[in-house]
A and B are shown apart, each in its own frame.
Chain A
Amino acid sequence: MEFLGIGILTWITFLPIVGMIAVLIVPKENQSGLKWIPLVITGIQVVLAGMIYAGFNKSMAGINTLEGMQFVEKARWIDIQGVPWFGRIVVEYFLGVDGLSISMVLLTALISFIAVIASWNIDKALKGYMAMLLLLDTGMMGVFVALDFFLFYVFWEVMLLPMYFLIGIWGGPRREYAAIKFFLYTLLGSVLMLLAMIALYFSVTVVDPATGEKIYTFNMLAMMDPANYEPGSLLAGVGTYWRYLAYVALFIGFAIKVPIFPFHTWLPDAHVEAPTAISVILAGILLKMGTYGLLRISFPMFPDAANYFVVPLAVLALINIVYGALCAMAQKDFKKLIAYSSISHMGVVLLGMSAMNTQGMVGAVFQMFNHGTITAMLFLIVGVIYDRAHTRDLDAFGGLALTMPKYTGVMTVAFFAALGLPGLSGFISEAFSFLGAFQTHRMITILSTLGIVLTAAYMLWTLQRVFLGQPNEKWAGLPDINGRELFALVPLAVIVIALGVYPSLMIDLMTSSLNHLVEVVKAGGTMAMVP
């Protein structure tokens, strides 16, 4: 699919950059222009995502085959000869989607659009804000469509700086602390990922079709094929220390993003300080990049190590689920509570992945999408109340159901979705993750189900404290949710309900790819067992 000779993935990825340039050109005084340009741009992005959804072939698997990838764009981006130490460097501009990334592409387009709506009442340096937001958008979209590791890494880093500034400049009182913490943490992750990437680069060679010579490559698909590993190179072989080490380095890099215990403490701080729209993006999309990276890169490139470390992964998932839920329960700040609930819910993704079977993987990827929509709703809901009352203290409210009935209605959908009520999307992905994981890790999964009870407890307790009971005199005059806020929340609520009732709308997209991914990972694991 092309427009003006340019592929749709390039459009959807770089359109925000066009928007950013437009925003930079528009004079600072033109406030409405500065809001409408990003809105239109992200709106077009949603339309493009819809076209990708419509044109997506559900039967094509992708993962490690070029033929299985869809909307592929492949061109030589960098080709420099004779670089000191490196020799010839070839980087490809290689984009494509398969069943693993399609849901993330849809999610990114959707959440970015919602985030622009949620940014409507930003009044501090609007121009810079919107420019950063759009740049961030490109970075995120790029991560999910890139199939060249170098390109992936570039997008990954592109996303880092705008996020840093968005928290550090437009954030709450402790924004500087939160921003630098986020930055340093993510940087640490990036470094580890970079090391693994370089190690992979110098281990994998392909034949350059143009010249016929063997060249090193960043092509992810090539990195998934054991035959491409140069004998004697660092990561050649199966089940070696170096491969395990590279896997662990990559894992930590991604784990920081997810975040996985004990690398999670940047998250509550970043969330509490970030403005609403940025929290929405952070929880809605950025966290998924960690688990996406694990599924896109770690699992198929290091199937031996993935199988080797599968029990520790499940244990970490259990810790995330239960520890996150208990920490959430003890919070007094509404936003911090939601932040910790994210840790708990991302644990479900990890648990589903650790299942190493289709049911679990489908649960995990579907949970990535669902957590994106549900948590986005939750953060928007906190934002609504914070905009009005300028406090997020859970004990400062009460009885809002009487003063803000519409708001309470939307909130109920989000809260019950978060606690995994059947009929709403979160339930299905959680249930599938647990069902899958149980086949692989019986005891760990049974312990993880404790999270189901704990989540219900803290969610309902929060609901009770804020919305039920006698109305607090102090907030008697709070206006109910307005049209713009509803416009951001209602589409998400509709998606959450629609996918809860008929999940196949999303699941059908991913099953071929995830079945294939499971095959690839299992095959790699079996190889490891027979040295």
Chain B
Amino acid sequence: MSQETILQLSTAILFLPLLGFLLLIFFNKRLPRQGDWLETGLLFLSLILAVAVFAAKLGGYHDEVLQTKFTWVDWGNVPGIGPLKLELGIMVDNLAAIMMLVVTIVSSLVHLFSIGYMHGDVRYGRYFAYLGIFTFSMLGIVLTNNFFMMYVFWELVGLSSYLLIGHWFEKKSASDAAKKAFVVNRVGDIGMFTGIMILFANFHTFTFDDIFGAIQSGAIPFGSEPWLTVAGILIFAGAVGKSAQFPLHVWLPDAMEGPTPVSALIHAATMVAAGVYLVARTFAMMTADALIFIAYIGAFTALISATIAIAQNDIKKVLAYSTVSQLGYMVMGLGVGAYTAGFFHLTTHAMFKAGLFLGSGSVIHAMHHALHHAGDHHTDPQDIRYMGGLKSKMPVTFWTFLIYTLAISGVPFTSGFLSKDEILAGTLAFSSLQGHVLIPLIAFFVAGLTAFYMFRLVIIVFLGEHRDAHRINEIHESPWTMTVPLIIFALLSFFAFYSLNPFGAASGWFYEAIKRPLSVVPGSVAAPSTSLFDEALHHSHTTAMVLSLTVAGLGILIAFATYYWKKIDADHVAERFKWLHTALSNKWYVDEVYEFVFVGGTKGLARLYAWFDNRVIDGLVNGTASWTRAITLGTRQNWEEGNLGAVLYMVVGGAISIYVGWLVGAALMPLDPTPGQMIWNGLLGIGTAGLTFFLFYVGVGGFDNKIVDGLVNATAYVAGFIGLLTRRVQTGKVQTYLAFVILGVMIFYLYFH
């Protein structure tokens, strides 16, 4: 297969799901079965092409980067820069080829699963359309060769995520969750956008290669290394949002309001992994400081979400926090420099976590039907406290679920063992080179926690007795469209697909294909080099393996002791550490704090501004009107009554005020004013003139009480003023204003000519 063919096929893979979206969004009602076959078929076609591209790329062009680009916007010959273009394009390297395969595998299997799971849904066709646009956007992220397209597709996956979380928008909780996901992601996105702005402002290009090339040749943003670190961290902010890292992790658990297959596809396997992919893509430009920052964010995220997962009772919430935790793991892996391991974990995690979610979907599906059959609309079909003993009724679901759980816990012979072990070894190597002992400590602790809460889930859901003896008879295994994906994902959770050696991935094809890119940042701010890191990694491997097996074994053991053999009373422990348990089941109160500070704060500020706008600014406007009216009416009345002294007083007062204002403004103005001084002093001059006139106006009270009355009743005049003016306008008095304008202009003219 030639390079061109690979690129063309990749483009086809990108656009096939979009085609499905376009057809389904407009015609789903008119297509048989609302077009599910069409979108699913297109996806399997994409999958076949992706396999072909994967094989051709890794087989034929193993170490090459295939790229193609075109000019999308041409700014022409820009003053100060020269010809400037915005080029878009796609790039297929090993990273992209593997990621493309991961995305199409998970997406096509989720499509298949959805046919069973979403059967009879109100918006069945629309659901498949949304899956299509999601897959398109996700593949866009994978294939882009520049930051601009990255941002474009970054937001587009946000859109599809919004649409799919809010699929059942009749439920307030669903539409709330969708909105939250979009807005929280946007917070991260503006960080990423700012990072892109820094790069563009300096390099006038968005293309990865050009930017990295420029940095490598010594051109760093604004000529200072801290800016390079800042740019890296800001780009990473996008990943913090999308991959649900602390402090923007709050949207992901809520996103479980969406249909479960969506959770598997978007909120477990692919979209949330986009952040990790982004860090991998931009790894070369990350300084040592930026990487340490990334490592800490990842570690902290892994820790807090793993602790929260222990205390959740909703099957999807447990998996959601587990996802956040595992994403933290990947991010931490990249941060410590274990580049390949981080991306490897993304790949293996995509398979077993998609499987876990689909498995939970199978369980929820069965529970839902059983509850529905029993006429029970109150029991939550996702609450694990109502489950138990499902093993015998749903054997396929149970055994596959168990395999995924073994994988995520890092038990040997699974894919998870391979990737997790590499990350753990990476943290040890990192800390031996750069210190930061906290990171490996957290990493191993979280490994144990993961094994514990995952086995807690398996035991409570599948083992023991079912909570309701009648209901268990109504529980059935899911149809083949749902079990087939489960079996495939279970197969993909074994080591053999990634490395023939079950105890080390380093010799497998994956490690061969994905190599840590060379850093382009100046040596003084770069992380320890790849060779140094590999050296340290070599020494920490055995330690890491022994430790990881120990903590995983401990976690599983404690889970069984607590929930299966009941040697440890979970309730008693919870009672003992009540504060901790409360904090955990309330997710460390992060949501509450955000709700109060950010949501409440913004709404409060919005109300304050609206009040300010309505009362102060518009009050000034209306006030000016009523003042003008009071003054002119009063003056006219004086004129009509022959009180010429008062009229003269006002006219002279007006003239003097303007003169005083002018003098003050001019006196305050320095010889060579800055724009700020000019505006400020100008305003002071105008203010002085106004104040002076006000004094005249108050002074007039001495010989004309009527005007003072007018002042007192100024507010009451507003309404009358409007009525009066409009009455006059209707009788054709608008010309009066024009006449005044012309008069004013004439005075101006006479003065200057």
Instruction: Tell me, in angstroms, the Cα distance from A402 to B194 when the chains sit together.
Output: 38
Check if A312 sits within 8 Å of B675, measured CB to CB.
yes
Contact between A453 and B187, CB atoms less than 8 A apart: yes
A416 adjacent to chain B (CB < 8 Å): yes
Q: Are B193 and A434 in contact (CB-based, < 8 A)?
A: yes
A306 to B166, CA, bound (A): 47
Contact with A along B161-185 (1 / 0, CB 8 A): 0100010011010011011001100
Pairwise interchain contact B678-A85, C-beta atoms closer than 8 A: no
In the assembled complex, B737 has its CB within 8 A of some CB on chain A:
yes
Q: Is B748 an interface residue (CB 8 A)?
A: yes
> Is the CB of B734 closer than 8 A to any CB of chain A?
yes
Interchain CB contact under 8 A, B617 and A265: yes
A438 contacts which of B201, B605, B725 (Cβ < 8 Å)? B201
Complex: chain B residue closest to A309, CB-CB: B675
Rounded to whole Å, the gap between the CB of A232 and the closest CB of chain B is 12
Q: Do A423 and B156 touch (CB < 8 A)?
A: yes
- For B709, list chain A residues within 8 Å (CB): none
A342 to chain B minimum Cβ distance, whole angstroms, is 14
Considering residues A453, A508, A512, which has the most beta carbons from chain B within 10 angstroms of its beta carbon? A453
Min CB distance A531 to B, Å, is 9
Asked if B711 is at the interface (CB within 8 A of a chain A CB), the reply is: no
Within 8 A of B (CB), among A429-483: 431, 434-435, 438-439, 445-446, 449-450, 452-454, 456-458, 460-461, 464, 467-470
Q: Are B606 and A326 in contact (CB under 8 A)?
A: yes
Which A-chain residue is minimally distant from B184 (CB atoms)? A453
Asked whether, in the complex, the Cβ of B726 is within 8 Å of the Cβ of A422, the reply is no
Determine whether A486 belongs to the interface, using a CB cutoff of 8 Å to chain B: no
B675 touches A311 (CB 8 A): yes
Given A399-B170, A468-B175: A450 and B190 interface contact (C-beta under 8 Å):
yes
CB distance from A249 to the nearest CB of B (A): 11
**Please, how many angstroms separate the alpha-carbon atoms of A191 and B747 in the complex?**
13
* A window 70-97: CB within 8 A of B: 85
Complex-state Cα separation, A421 to B152, whole angstroms:
8
A348 to B634, CA, bound (A): 44
> By the criterion CB–CB under 8 Å, are A422 and B722 in contact?
no
Q: CB-CB < 8 A to B609: which residues of A?
A: 323, 326-327, 330
Q: How far is the CA of A164 from the CA of B738 in the complex (A)?
A: 14
Whether the pair A265, B618 counts as a contact (CB closer than 8 A) is: yes
User: Given that A402-B170, A522-B79 are contacting pairs, would A460 and B745 also be in contact in the complex, using a CB cutoff of 8 Å?
Assistant: no
Judged by a CB distance under 8 angstroms, whether B73 is at the interface is yes
Cβ of B76 under 8 Å from chain A: yes
B203 to chain A, nearest CB (A): 12
Most buried by A among B74, B603, B613: B613
Bound complex: CA A464 to CA B169 (Å): 9
A180 and B76 contacting across the interface, CB-CB below 8 Å:
no
What 1/0 mask marks residues of chain A from 508 to 530 whose CB sits below 8 Å from any chain B CB?
10011001001100100000000
A469 close to B200 (CB less than 8 A): no
**Interface residues in B57-81 (C-beta closer than 8 Å to A):** 72-81
Within 8 A of B (CB), among A220-236: 234
A399-B170, A450-B190, A456-B182 known; A180-B725 Cβ under 8 A = yes
Contact indicator B76/A435 (Cβ below 8 Å): no
| B675:A468 contact, CB within 8 angstroms | no
Give Cα A179 to B197, complex, Å. 42
Stretch at the interface among A38-46, A101-109, A357-365: A357-365
Q: A327-B613, A359-B75, A504-B73 are in contact. Are A454 and B169 (CB under 8 A)?
A: no
Decide yes or no: A416 and B159 within 8 Å by CB, A176-B726, A456-B182 being known contacts. Answer: yes
Q: Which of A24-32, A49-57, A193-201 contacts B (4 or more CB under 8 A)?
A: A193-201
For residue A11, CB closer than 8 A to chain B, the reply is no
A461 near B179 with CB under 8 A, answer: yes
Chain B residues, Cβ within 8 Å of A515 = 75-79
A359 nearest CB across to chain B (Å)? 6
Q: Is the CB of A422 within 8 A of B152?
A: yes
Contact of A326 among B178, B605, B723 (CB under 8 A): B605
Q: Which of A323, A327, A453 contacts B186, CB < 8 Å?
A: A453
Pick from A181, A264, A435: contact of B200, CB under 8 Å? A435
Which of A371-423 touch B at CB < 8 Å? Answer: 399, 401-402, 416, 421-423
> A312 to chain B: which residues have CB within 8 Å?
675-676, 679
Distance (Å) between the CB of B113 and the closest chain A CB? Answer: 26
In the complex, the answer to whether B752 meets A503 with C-beta atoms within 8 Å is no
State whether the Cβ of A507 lies closer than 8 Å to any Cβ in chain B. Answer: yes
Is A120 an interface residue, CB under 8 A from the partner? no
> Could you tell me if B752 and A518 are in contact, using CB atoms closer than 8 angstroms?
no
Is A327's CB under 8 angstroms from B729's CB? no
Q: State the CA gap A309–B673 with chains docked (Å).
A: 11
Contact status A358-B675, CB under 8 Å: no
Q: Which residues of B contact A202 (CB under 8 A)?
A: 752-753
Q: Given contacts A358-B75, A508-B74, A515-B79, are A469 and B156 in contact (CB under 8 A)?
A: no
Write out the residue numbers on chain A whose beta carbons fall within 8 Å of the beta carbon of B618.
265
Q: A265-B617, A331-B610, A469-B170 are in contact. Are A518 and B79 (CB under 8 A)?
A: yes
A422 in contact with B197 (CB, 8 Å): no
A454→B170 contact, CB < 8 A: no
- B175 near A469 with CB under 8 A, answer yes
Chain A residues, CB < 8 A from B744: 191
Chain B residues whose CB sits within 8 angstroms of the CB of A402 once the complex forms: 170
B579 within 8 Å of A (CB atoms): no
Is A183's CB within 8 Å of the partner chain B? yes
Q: Which of B679, B750, B752 has the most CB of A within 10 A?
A: B752
Q: Are B610 and A421 in contact (CB under 8 A)?
A: no
- Chain B residue with Cβ nearest A422: B152
Contact B606 A329 (CB under 8 A): yes
Q: For the complex, is A262 an interface residue (Cβ under 8 Å from B)?
A: yes
CB distance from A178 to the nearest CB of B (A): 10
Give the residues from 344 to 358 in chain A that come closer than 8 angstroms, CB to CB, to chain B. 357-358
Which residues of chain A are near B197, meaning CB under 8 Å? 434-435, 438, 445
A325 to nearest B CB, angstroms?
Answer: 8
Least CB separation from A169: chain B residue:
B730
Would A468 and B745 count as touching, CB distance under 8 A?
no
Residues on B with beta carbons closer than 8 Å to the beta carbon of A327? 606, 609-610, 613
CA distance A518 to B603 in the complex (A): 39
A195, B745: Cβ atoms closer than 8 Å:
yes
Alpha-carbon gap, A199 to B751, bound state (A):
11
Closest residue of chain B to A248 (Cβ to Cβ) is B682
Most buried by B among A180, A401, A522: A180
Within 8 Å CB of A234, what residues of B?
Answer: 752
Is A85's CB under 8 angstroms from B749's CB? yes
Which residues of chain B are within 8 angstroms of A329 by Cβ–Cβ distance?
A: 602-603, 606
Contacting residue for B151 out of A265, A326, A422, A508, CB 8 A: A422
Q: Is there a chain A Cβ closer than 8 Å to B155's Cβ?
A: yes
Q: Does A66 contact B (CB under 8 A)?
A: no
Q: Give the complex CA separation of A512 and B83 in angstroms.
A: 12
Give 1 or 0 for each of A300-329: 1 = CB within 8 Å of chain B CB. Answer: 000000001111100000000001001101
B contact residues around A194 at 8 Å (CB): 741, 745
Q: Given the known inter-chain contacts A358-B79, A422-B152, please indicate yes or no for A457 contacting B183, CB distance below 8 A.
A: yes
A362 touches B175 (CB 8 A): no
Chain B contacts with A in 660-710, Cβ cutoff 8 A: 675-676, 678-679, 682
Q: Are B725 and A422 in contact (CB under 8 A)?
A: no
24 A-B residue pairings within 8 Å (CB atoms): A85-B749, A164-B734, A176-B723, A176-B726, A184-B737, A191-B745, A194-B741, A195-B748, A326-B609, A329-B606, A330-B603, A330-B610, A422-B151, A422-B153, A434-B193, A435-B201, A438-B197, A450-B190, A452-B186, A458-B606, A461-B179, A503-B73, A515-B77, A518-B79
Besides A198-B745, A423-B156, A431-B151, 6 new A-B residue pairs in contact (Cβ under 8 A), listed by A number: A312-B675, A327-B606, A421-B159, A438-B200, A446-B194, A469-B169
Chain A residues in the interface with B (C-beta under 8 A)? 85, 161, 164, 168, 176-177, 179-181, 183-184, 187, 190-191, 194-195, 198-199, 202, 234, 244, 248, 262, 264-266, 308-312, 323, 326-327, 329-331, 357-359, 362, 399, 401-402, 416, 421-423, 427-428, 431, 434-435, 438-439, 445-446, 449-450, 452-454, 456-458, 460-461, 464, 467-470, 502-504, 507-508, 511-512, 515, 518-519, 522
